A and B are shown apart, each in its own frame.
Chain A
Amino acid sequence: MGLGTIDWAILALYLLFVLGIGWVSARRTKSGTEFFLAGRSIPAWVCGLAFISANLGAQEVIGMGASGAKYGIATAHFYWIGAIPAMVFVGVFMMPFYYGSKARSAPEYLRMRFDEKTRGFNAFTFAVMTVFSSGISMYAMAKLIQTLHVFDQPFQHLGLPQNWIFHAAIAVSALVVLVYIYMGGLRGAIYNEVLQFFLIVAGFAPLVWLGLRQVGGWQGLQATLGPSYTHVWAGMAHPATNRLGVDAFGLVMGLGFVLSFGYWCTDFLIVQRAMAADSMLSARRTPLIAAAIKMFFPFLVILPGLIAFALTSNPMKPPPALHGVAAAHAPAEQGIIPFKLDSATGKPMLDAKGQPVLDYDLATPNLLLRYFPTGMLGLGLTALLASFMSGMAGNVTAFNTVWTYDIYQAYIRRQASDAHYLQVGRLATAGGIALSIAAAYLASRFNNIMDLIQLVFAFVNAPVFATFLLGMFWKRATGHGAFVGLVCGTLAAALHHGLTLPDGSLAGVKGGWIMVQHIYPSEMAQNFWTAIWSWSACFVVTIAVSLATRAPDPARLAGLVYPLTPKVGAEAGRWWFSPLFLGAVVLTGALLLNIIFR
């Protein structure tokens, strides 16, 4: 038994609506400003939901569930001390410069504030990175769809081999995203992201509800999994006493400050959504509205992982009798989370202690197959597809803007008509998607190359927040300082990675490729400390080089730097809608969640 008629109908309806929204958006997309910035005309709540969706790719939905199963609710640190404070910061303090400068992209802000070489460095690395990350998530999604075996039957009927499911998944999703961005530009992407946001919630919320019923609610989870899985702060004083293997300082500085602020405050994929807002006030509210919702996402994306693990590790509560598509593929004696199989031998992989390794990435998808009957299954698969498309669209719209304005217009053809750049943007959309597909197939061939590429990006990304921070709040920071700081920060990250190794790993792509000077208790701890060193190096070097070079002309920096920008006036309207007040409310909420789940 495969997918029912209704499951297919829901998937088809979704695709129809997504294309329809692209088509409607196309009618208003006739200029570069419309295509790349959605005409700066989108209301705050729409931008806010798109802000969440653009980041809510399949990698987040699957990856957070996997981390939940592996590390427990402590994964929520990525939200409650990670994303939320950073989103409040970008809304309250940084958005006035992004939006107010009228820059069309984050790299363009760097050119206005610093110089061409700083922008060039940032634009090139960002463009390459978006292509690869969209390729990697495309690969992960297609692989997942194939592993779920839900499309086996229709493919058998058509007489097509099973591995065509992989090709079909890539082709269909790439084509749909291409069509709606090609037609509707950023407006099409943003409107679809709002639809996708609601679908993701509609698909995963009932999964959490059903799952919690099975495990006996939150109390049942606590009883089954024990305290180390159900507390976020307990044991954080020392790496050995918590599941993440990090200490509180590394967590707060590395994840909470450097990595989260680096991502949420500077990544153009995210910031672009707020830059499309219809006014300065809307742009500042965008991340705050997003944060107010995002802080509850651990319950939607991490909790399924915990539930799946509880149902895997607790054979006392057998899963419900299987009638559905999952029956053939998940033997009853094995839990929801299957063993990870060696792709060469087909046997379960063993860890250092000889225990089979669980394939945590399948925690959330298998829970979905196990608990959703026909009908709901279609909705659940639609939610997965929606999350994948929204993440990919985020990458593609950011890529086509940076390519057109920061690479093509800056280095290839400077003076051309708006219509010309609009055409280039449309072609860049197709080109970006084609390159992503190439990256996806590269990933399916050479997994190690992708690990390496992601590592290099981590080095490039880690210091960027120091550059933006000094650029926006220190008027003495210079272009030379920013550029040398960025390069040194990247080198510091590589150096730190080359000198350290997570416990139990071999020197190589995991670190220690220069020589092993320090062993971290976990890979996460190593990541956090790489970020801390890299950020600090960039921060210190930028200041030192700036002081040694000629100060920038203050007249040029008006509107770009905090001390030289007139205060964004007392906001018109009610004080309870002001960014400062909203930010305080959101932070209080995040604090309460930290306390409740301490």
Chain B
Amino acid sequence: MSFDIRLPIGLLFLIVGLLLAALGLTGDPARLRTEALGVNIDLIWGAALTVFGLAMLALTQLRRRTPPE
């Protein structure tokens, strides 16, 4: 079976998402521009990317369990 592109995509988004979210949680608000923007975009988008990454990884597992058509 050919290699599943969802694996590297899931991994990359998971790592980047966690990095951004961690930065959003611990970073200096001035550098994150939370006041100017009204939102902590690093935290929000980091969380979103983490969820997307996990979903991609879950899909690769799902395919492995179902026998190929």
Contacts and interface: CB of A to CB of B under 8 A. Distances in A.
Contact of A202 (B3, B13, B30, B37): B13
Contacts of B41: 206, 210, 372-373, 376
Interface in B7-42: 8-9, 11-13, 15-16, 19-20, 23-24, 27, 30-33, 35-39, 41-42
A373 B32 CA distance: 5
Contacts of B46: 375
Most chain A CB atoms below 10 A, which of B15, B27, B45, B49: B45
Nearest to B11: A17
Contact of A320 (B2, B36, B49): B36
A216 interface: no
A149 interface: no
Interface footprint category on B: 20 to 34
21 contacts: A10-B19, A17-B8, A20-B8, A21-B8, A24-B3, A24-B8, A28-B2, A41-B2, A195-B5, A195-B12, A202-B13, A210-B41, A320-B33, A320-B36, A374-B31, A374-B42, A375-B23, A375-B24, A375-B42, A379-B16, A379-B20
A139 interface: no
By DSSP majority rule, is chain A's interface helix, strand, loop, or mixed? helix
Interface in A3-25: 4, 6, 9-10, 13-14, 17, 20-21, 24-25
Interface string A403-428: 00000000000000000000000000
B20 A373 contact: no
Given A195-B9, A372-B41, A376-B42, A4 B31 contact: yes
B32 A374 contact: yes
A21 to B, nearest CB: 6
Contact of B37 (A46, A198, A210, A374): A210
A465 B49 CA distance: 41
A194 interface: yes
A202 B23 CA distance: 17
A587 to B, nearest CB: 29
A283 B57 CA distance: 26
A191 interface: yes
Contact of B19 (A25, A202, A375): A375
Contacts of A321: 33, 35-36
A356 interface: no
A324 B36 CA distance: 12
A324 B41 CA distance: 15
Given A21-B5, A210-B37, A320-B33, 18 more contacts: A4-B31, A6-B19, A9-B19, A13-B12, A13-B16, A17-B8, A194-B5, A198-B9, A202-B49, A213-B37, A213-B38, A323-B30, A324-B33, A373-B33, A373-B42, A374-B32, A375-B24, A376-B45
Contact of B33 (A10, A41, A323): A323
A371 interface: yes
Given A10-B16, A13-B16, A375 B8 contact: no
B8 A323 contact: no
Nearest to A192: B5
Given A6-B19, A371-B37, A323 B9 contact: no
